[in-house]
Amino acid sequence: MKLVLLLVLAALMPPTYAGRARPRLPLIRELVRKTPWQNIAAGGAAAGTVIVAGKVGNGVENGLRTVARESPDTFASCVTPLRLPFQVAFCILIGSGVVLIVRLCFRRNKR
């Protein structure tokens, strides 16, 4: 698995790496030796997570479209709880941004 992922990485790499032209085969061997398997596994896990999230998102989207078409009242009651976490996260983001800006202004005024 490690070799397959590194071969894909090497195929996507430009022929000049770090400012010098090198053949790709020694570069692949060097990457295989120097890259720990934990980094390769983490990259595979991240890619798998993104792919699964996309598939789950598509399924949820198709289900919500069906509910919206067949029963708009039920759709409204389904979407309202889904919005709440995003609204809370947005409020926390805006609040922390305001706090940081205010702290920065007070620091500049003290100098």
Per-residue burial over 32-53, b = 16 or more CB atoms within 10 Å of its CB, e = otherwise: eeeeeeeebeeeeeeeeeeeee
| Alpha carbon distance 23, 14 (integer Å) | 10
pLDDT of residue 94: 96
Tell me which residue of 66, 65, 1 sits closest to 35, measured CA to CA: 1
pLDDT digit string (tens) for 54-83? 888 888 889 888 988 998 888 888 888 888
pLDDT of residue 86: 92
Amino acid found at 69 = R
Average predicted confidence (pLDDT) for the chain: 78
Q: In the predicted model, is pLDDT for residue 99 greater than 70?
A: yes
Token pair, residue 107, equals: 């620091």
Per-residue burial over 70-91, b = 16 or more CB atoms within 10 Å of its CB, e = otherwise: eeeeebeeeeeeeeeeeeeeee
pLDDT of residue 96: 95
Residue 20's CB is within 10 A of a number of other CB atoms, namely: 6
pLDDT of residue 80: 82
pTM listed for this prediction:
0.41
